Structure 1
Amino acid sequence: MKRVVGGVLALFIAMGIGRFAYTPLLPFMQADWALTDALAGYLATSNYAGYFVGAIGLTFFAFQEKRFIVLNGALFLNVLTTIVMGVTNEYLLLLLIRFLSGVSSAVVFILASSIVLTYLGRLKKPQWSGLFYSGVGFGIAFSSISISYIVAVLSWQATWLLLGVACIVLALFSSSFLKEQQEMESSNAVHQRNEWIQKRWLPWLLVAYGLEGVGYIVTGTFIVSIAAQLPKIQWNPAFVWLIVGLAAIPSCYIWSRMAERTGYVNGLVMALGIQSIGIIFPVLLPTAIGLSVSAFLFGMTFMGITTIVNTVARGSGTRILGGLTAMYAGGQMLGPTIAGILMTSTDSYESALMFATICIVLATLIAYSGRPYELYVMEGKEIVK
């Protein structure tokens, strides 16, 4: 169980803080620094480009024997980039810092997933993967609460610094808990499951996951900035991000259990469908209530989708996980840039959210193509559910 806790802390640091603290801090950075939506989108895209590079790197260099050493290095690099975000306001330097943060986030995410999911597979407890991925939700919730209070007293630069210092302590615990590694799970069932993924459904899953990356990140990047435009919640737009984080905490466990009962493809399709409703909701109901519902549905699904996809791919090695994450990251590179341009040119967030919704609907339809393959494997009673 210590290994799961170590993984939770790693995701808390690298994803919940390193990647997603940018979202609630963005309105304060824009107000103090006169950042346009387009420039903010480029900063986000730099982070996602780094995430893409990190994921691609692990498809070529699996680091199977040295994954703990590489994970440690990436984890502490991620903490360093969080701290440096608070000591400069040079835009070009921030672009580089966000890029390095993205690289380290991808490496931490993939290698921590490999270590923890392998361990859970050996224990025959894949449903516990939901507990592991809840680390992202905990990080988002923590950053939402802390940022509101810190920025009110200090500044957005000081907020980055304090978050980074807190992550140093957590990184020491994470490294200690993840230190022991377990052998790879091996069984005929796992072999058959991986063959199903790699030879039958993987191309479609890659496309669907890439589209999910394009669509979800629009809300993931701009939802707090959208909240700042609504009069009823202008006073504390980070409250919306707190809803996202709180909804994300149990979502991974809920969706992992759902996928066990209904099948992985059905679970993925349901999560994507619900997410598409959440993303478009502020367009249909442009009020504080509408945005709160959107935040809840978004929080309940975005990490749940990742949980299902990575649980399906468990035991396939870091190259498969890296390939899936690379497609996801590639989508994330496009999403904020396109959304930022749409928002700047139309002076409205509606076009960006409609674009994101279309991407998620397409991902849902493509993901459903895996249903015949899952039935094929399940009928052969070779898949571990």
Structure 2
Amino acid sequence: MRKTLLDRNNNIAILFAGILTIVVGLGVARFAFTSLLPFMLDDFLTLTYAGILASLNFAGYLAGAVFSVFIKDINTKVKYFRIGMVLSVLTTFVLATTVNETLWLISRVIAGFGSAMLIIVGTAIVMVKLNFEDKTKAMGIHFSGIGVAIVVNDLISRYVLQNGTWSDAWLVLSLFAFIISFYSMYILSFDKELKQEAVKHKLSMSIFSPYVVLLLFAYFTEGVGFVIQGTFLPDIINSLEGLDGYGSLGWLLVGIAGIPSSIIWMRLAHNYGSINIIIVAMSIQLVGILIPALSNNMYLNLLSGVLYGGTFIGLVALFMNLGGQLAGKNPVVLMGAMTATYGVGQVTGPLYSVTLIEYFGNYDTTLYLTALIVFTGIVLLVYAKKREV
């Protein structure tokens, strides 16, 4: 087994390296911020500043995502993948060693760019290296790494916080990311430079049919639906009467529910059609968003974490898979557009959230507005079904 895990061309090693990449790129460089947010809010962060940091992180991710779409050469992909790994580790170390606001702002933008290099470019390398005829199931396993990333990072943070501070947790997370990054960088590379013929397809905007435009708007609403709980869920639960301290458990359940989600949703999409299953998943997510605004019941609010974790990862996989089917021979333009619309939703969400939270003094209005935006996306998809091509 040891030899297998050190073989660059072994499928198990490639998938393991891919999951570890997600643990660094999304777990450490992104979602650890959500896990540690209640502790940072108790110390020096304000909610407004936290929202700005979250938006900047997603702006960096959006820039990296759009940039990554145009990296064609696989050897160049490996180079940017390694750059992303270094950036993700270093920017986490910054959060552990300073409370300088300017440095935090810069580091969150760069961390977002690094995350994009690891998640998007890293996934492309995994796809190229895997030796399967049908890589769909393998991709489901790969994206289960998002749930694993949340669980692993949350458990590390919990352990450190028993006797240490949030800055100690950032330090341990940065060291952990540094150690595991070597394995991913070793496996997700090639023994020699690959010569690839660049396949060029004529740029065509005809792909943006009314159906596809509706799909893009719906994906924007899902970007908003994803980011609110993805940024604030532990603090949302902690802010409810009688639930202070349960936020971290809710966030742990997000990760556990997320591990099998993309595999399950992709299988359902195969059986019942992508757009039907996207509507179902967004409807379930909508319920999860509304629960904290309607009830302070402990079990229901923990369930909201399960509903969020069980849908957001699967929804990205479902939308991108449907986009890939619609794109045909010209995936770059449509995938770039989808990434951009989702990213704009991610950047927008935290900004309107903190404004409403500061004004009303709680999360309720933010959650109602977010639910309305996601509901709008569902309505667009129902309408899009009638125009399906």
TM-score (normalised: structure 2)? 0.86
Structure 1 residue 172: deviation in Å?
A: 1.4
1:215-248 CA distance string (max 9 Å, x none)? 2211111111112223544235211100101000
Does the 8 Å contact 1:114/1:317 carry over to 2? no
Partners of 2:298 and 2:85 lie apart in 1 by 36
Given residue 6 of structure 1, which amino acid in structure 2 is its aligned partner?
Answer: A
Partners of 1:287 and 1:257 lie apart in 2 by 33
| Matching of residues 82-161 of structure 1 within 5 Å | 82-117=92-127, 123-161=133-171
Partners of 1:203 and 1:74 lie apart in 2 by 31
Partners of 1:369 and 1:170 lie apart in 2 by 46
Structure 1 residue 64: deviation in Å?
A: 4.8
Identity of aligned residues (%): 30
Partners of 2:99 and 2:172 lie apart in 1 by 17
Does the 8 Å contact 2:241/2:296 carry over to 1? no
Does the 8 Å contact 1:47/1:99 carry over to 2? yes
Structure 1 residue 56: deviation in Å?
A: 2.5
1:30 is aligned to 41
Given residue 257 of structure 1, which amino acid in structure 2 is its aligned partner?
Answer: R
Structure 1 residue 322: deviation in Å?
A: 3.6
Given residue 293 of structure 1, which amino acid in structure 2 is its aligned partner?
Answer: L
1:382 is aligned to none
| Matching of residues 1-385 of structure 1 within 5 Å | 1=11, 2-33=13-44, 35-117=45-127, 123-180=133-190, 201-314=211-324, 317=331, 320-371=334-385, 376=389
Q: 1:364 to 1:292 in 2, by over 3 A?
A: same
Structure 1 residue 120: deviation in Å?
A: 6.3
Partners of 1:135 and 1:319 lie apart in 2 by 27
Whose RCO is larger (CA < 8 A, sep 6+)?
A: 1
Q: 1:128 to 1:371 in 2, by over 3 A?
A: farther
Matched length: 368
Structure 1 residue 366: deviation in Å?
A: 2.2
Does the 8 Å contact 2:127/2:135 carry over to 1? no
Given residue 20 of structure 1, which amino acid in structure 2 is its aligned partner?
Answer: F
Q: 1:76 to 1:369 in 2, by over 3 A?
A: farther
Does the 8 Å contact 1:129/1:256 carry over to 2? no
Does the 8 Å contact 2:242/2:296 carry over to 1? no
Does the 8 Å contact 2:237/2:292 carry over to 1? no
Q: 1:337 to 1:289 in 2, by over 3 A?
A: same
2:7 is aligned to none
1:311-336 CA distance string (max 9 Å, x none)? 33458655543432222111111100
Q: 1:343 to 1:266 in 2, by over 3 A?
A: same
RMSD, aligned CA: 2.8
Given residue 18 of structure 2, which amino acid in structure 1 is its aligned partner?
Answer: G
Structure 1 residue 343: deviation in Å?
A: 0.7
Bigger shift: 198-207 or 276-285? 198-207
Q: 1:355 to 1:120 in 2, by over 3 A?
A: farther
Q: 1:102 to 1:208 in 2, by over 3 A?
A: same
1:25-53 CA distance string (max 9 Å, x none)? 111111111x3221211111111111121
Given residue 245 of structure 2, which amino acid in structure 1 is its aligned partner?
Answer: W
Partners of 2:132 and 2:383 lie apart in 1 by 29
Does the 8 Å contact 2:144/2:261 carry over to 1? yes
Given residue 264 of structure 1, which amino acid in structure 2 is its aligned partner?
Answer: S
Bigger shift: 262-271 or 293-302? 262-271
Does the 8 Å contact 1:120/1:129 carry over to 2? no
1:187 is aligned to none
Partners of 1:10 and 1:298 lie apart in 2 by 22
TM-score (normalised: structure 1)? 0.87
Q: 1:119 to 1:136 in 2, by over 3 A?
A: same
1:142-175 CA distance string (max 9 Å, x none)? 1222212212211111111111111112211212
Q: 1:246 to 1:153 in 2, by over 3 A?
A: same
Given residue 83 of structure 1, which amino acid in structure 2 is its aligned partner?
Answer: F
Given residue 26 of structure 2, which amino acid in structure 1 is its aligned partner?
Answer: M
Partners of 2:195 and 2:210 lie apart in 1 by 27
Given residue 23 of structure 2, which amino acid in structure 1 is its aligned partner?
Answer: F
Partners of 1:280 and 1:182 lie apart in 2 by 50
Bigger shift: 282-291 or 114-123? 114-123
Partners of 1:142 and 1:226 lie apart in 2 by 21
